[in-house]
Structure 1
Amino acid sequence: MTVDRPGAGPTTRPARRDPGFLTAPFASRTWREQAYLALVLLLAPFAFTYAVLTVSLAAGIAVTVVGLVVAGALVLGGRGWGAVHRGLARELLDVDVDAPAPYTRPRGFWRTVGSLIGDPAGWRALLFMIVTFPLTVLSFVVSITFLATGLGLITYGIWFRFLPEQTGADGELHRGAQLGSSYFLDTPPRILLGMLAGVVLLYCWPWITRTFTLLYRVLTAALLGPTQAGLRVAELERSRTGAVDDADARLRSIERDLHDGTQARLVAVAMQLGEAREHLAEGGDVAQAAELLETAHTSTKDALTELRELARGIHPPALDSGLAVALETLAARSALPVTVDVDPAVEAGGRLAPAQESIAYFTVAELVTNAAKHARATAAYVLVEALGETVRIRVRDDGRGGAHVVPPDGSGLRSGLAGLVERVRSVDGTFDLSSPVGGPTVVTVTLPTTLPGTGTGAADPA
């Protein structure tokens, strides 16, 4: 299972197996592609008219406020035409092209008008309708000519007898198709030759049709899908939203732990100290006061321990000495044996920013904890190595496997592997999980480096 950023561009996928050469004229895919060419031919005049009208109005009446609004609305309407063509391509050409990022209306009238007129997805859809208009006519005429001519020649021996008689150049009457001034298909050898030519044309028809539909596939993916910039913006917005929600949820969790745990313990300490002071002021039992002080002392140490754990959850102090030291410390405190192998090139020159080091540390900590708590592992191996302009972190355990990413439950706190995925994505990293039932579980995290360079990776004995 790979958990990563969305694809970097529009994608196409074959949904059905390609037919062989001998079965191509009879395959459902071929007839669906021919149906696609027929349907886009019906839509092409209306789509082309809409595109030309939009461009003309945008150039002619955009000098007025009303014209700007109308032109912007027409540009935005191009998205609807794009959705129609994507649907046809998905159903008939087995092309799955993602829709571009939805239109978001900005605040302010003039910003809204500007965003309407300058909507990239709308203009790209209009360009698609203009470019495909001549292609639509050409593709349908050529493909249907091959199909009709091929079928006509194959069945020629049946219907040629119903053709009217014609006088040839030799002065004799002929009944059949005429090629040139005196060549008629009216003898058995010539009829057989025509039928063979029909078979050739019929078997050429699927590949001619497929060539044209391939052009439609390319144009649909290039002009009606999301752009690289659009995908990048959408991913950044999603990562930012996830990071903000995760940070807010974690702050609430820390506040709850402080309020329900440490604060309550310190309140109890204050009450115990107050009670001991009253005992001593009133000349009461010294032994009972000493017992209260001892309880308060123990509670104070427990509170300090809780505060250290909370602080370690925010930023481990061991990270101040480097990622290698922090991971070694983590391994020493782990409930199962952990071998840590950190490439010296990772920390040489400050490859990872402090935020990335924190993500790397908490990722390893979460995975090691999962291996000990859920996977019933007996050992784990952690490898951190520099690979070009990235740092790869691999955590492998010998547990029972079967791990998978559980989507967030809507509470805002992305815990477990889902939380790790969000953290890694927030810095443009990738997260790959391989956990077959029975094990082993291998998680590979790739983080971009802050400084370019080439590191020498350590060997992974696992």
Structure 2
Amino acid sequence: MTADQRFTPASRTAPPGSSGSPGSPGSPGSAAGPAGVGAGRKRAAYGKETWKEVCFLLLNLPASIVGFVYALTSVVVGIGLSVTVVGLPLLAAGLSGARLIGRSERARARALLDVAVAEPSRLPSAGGLSWLWGRLKDPVAWRTQLYGLIRLPWGVLTFGVTLVAVIALWPVLPFVVRGLAAADRGMVRGLLSPSDELERRISELETDRVVVVDTAAADLRRIERDLHDGAQARLVALAMGLGLAKEKLHEDPEAAAAMVAEAHGEVKLALQELRDLARGIHPAVLTDRGLDAALSSLAGRCTVPVSVSVELPGRPVEAIEGIAYFTVSELLQNVSKHARARSASVEVWRSEGRLLLQVRDDGVGGARTDGTGTGLAGLAERLGAVDGVLVVDSPAGGPTVVTAELPWRNRD
């Protein structure tokens, strides 16, 4: 079985079945959902979707009046006063407000037209000229202003046609509102969506950055807790024990010797705890010998027999290598704690510029990434933060196959 046969990911950005996978409702590229209501299925002529579209079209008139007045006033006043010191700041402030109108219109389209348009990334917080220039060249705000200016005649038209259709053209009402709503969907997607793929990617990276920061903070808290509750507490007890042994050294040598022997055992335990903690931060065997040796060491500590196969042409950068190691570590911990398996296997290989790893077990199955206690949801988030993918195939009764994909980056 070749590497490509072992795993062919459906997406480089999200595992199948996740909220961001292609075809899921709410994803920008979904075939059913954002593109239009009821794609791929029949809808009732006078069903819920039709009445939601009617509501949207009737609300177009007041919404378009607000948007037109705001856009015309803010642009005309800002440009008209641009020869003065307050003109450009007023124009920039108007563009900032346009973003809020765009957010409201996207929310209205999501609620009534089932159009899932991603929110554009936030502008960087800055002051002075940086703030002014950032707002003046904001393409999202300018397109929202254009949306407001061209919507007034359309709002009047859709309000009038929809109202007449509801009152006098009842038999053709579903077809009329469906056509008008389709045009509205096109306007929303064309003028209120993020600027381009780069804009969407920036938004994704901002979310990923939050995940990375939260994960790093959680790891630091874990290390602090382990040090405080483990090695530090043991060393404090050791110091107290040695102090008592020193006091008894002359008056009761045998008791002092017993206390020193006990302290010697505590030292060994403290050293073992510190080694385990250091291994949890970054194991020395991974740094010195790479994934093959490090994963074999992990397999040796698992409660079930684990076979390891690593087929790599070299070593990826330290960060990717570390993420791969801790991914396998967490998956093997799940095998030990939850799978009730008799055996497991770990395979690692490279394919088309990606590092792939697969952990199998013959346990009871039922593993999910929906946060039901196995930690797979958090693991999927951490992998997604580095443009990775986690795919879980775990039917009830087993077996469980978890595949992770990471970008391959060569070492210098």
Rate the CA distance shift 1:81–1:275 in 2: closer, same or farther, 3 A: closer
How far off its partner does 1:263 sit?
2.7
- Secondary structure of the residue aligned to 2:86 is helix
Is the aligned partner of 1:310 residue 2:277? yes
Match of 2:224 in 1: 255
Match of 1:232 in 2: 201
TM-score computed with the length of structure 2 as normaliser:
0.77
Higher relative contact order (CA closer than 8 Å, sequence separation 6+): 1
Kindly report which structure 2 residues correspond to 1:145-294, keeping only aligned pairs within 5 A, or say none: 210-227=178-195, 228-280=197-249, 282=250, 284-285=252-253, 287-294=254-261
TM-score computed with the length of structure 1 as normaliser:
0.69
Q: Give 1 or 2 for the bigger CA radius of gyration.
A: 1
How far off its partner does 1:275 sit?
4.6
CA contact (8 A) 2:347 2:358 kept: yes
- One of 47, 69, 74 as aligned partner of 1:54: 74
Unaligned runs of 5+ in 1: 153-201, 409-413, 453-462
Give the whole-Å Cα distance in 2 for the aligned partners of 1:260 and 1:31: 60
Give the whole-Å Cα distance in 2 for the aligned partners of 1:445 and 1:20: 37
Is the aligned partner of 1:428 residue 2:395? no
Aligned residue identity for 1:264: A
CA contact (8 A) 1:4 1:430 kept: no
How far off its partner does 1:415 sit?
9.3
Unaligned runs of 5+ in 2: 1-15
Give the whole-Å Cα distance in 1 for the aligned partners of 2:408 and 2:215: 23
Give the whole-Å Cα distance in 1 for the aligned partners of 2:292 and 2:19: 26
Rate the CA distance shift 1:18–1:406 in 2: closer, same or farther, 3 A: closer
Is the aligned partner of 1:330 residue 2:305? no
CA contact (8 A) 2:362 2:400 kept: yes
Give the whole-Å Cα distance in 2 for the aligned partners of 1:302 and 1:70: 67
Give the whole-Å Cα distance in 1 for the aligned partners of 2:214 and 2:41: 49
Match of 1:458 in 2: none
How far off its partner does 1:236 sit?
2.5
Aligned residue identity for 2:399: P
CA contact (8 A) 1:2 1:431 kept: no
Is the aligned partner of 1:300 residue 2:264? no
Match of 2:345 in 1: 381
Give the whole-Å Cα distance in 1 for the aligned partners of 2:211 and 2:348: 26
Aligned residue pairs total: 386
Give the whole-Å Cα distance in 1 for the aligned partners of 2:344 and 2:153: 62
* RMSD, aligned α-carbons: 3.9
How far off its partner does 1:395 sit?
1.8
- One of 129, 134, 143 as aligned partner of 1:124: 143
How far off its partner does 1:313 sit?
0.6
CA contact (8 A) 2:317 2:410 kept: no
Is the aligned partner of 1:99 residue 2:119? yes
Rate the CA distance shift 1:450–1:5 in 2: closer, same or farther, 3 A: farther
Is the aligned partner of 1:391 residue 2:352? no
Aligned residue identity for 2:379: L
Aligned residue identity for 1:424: L
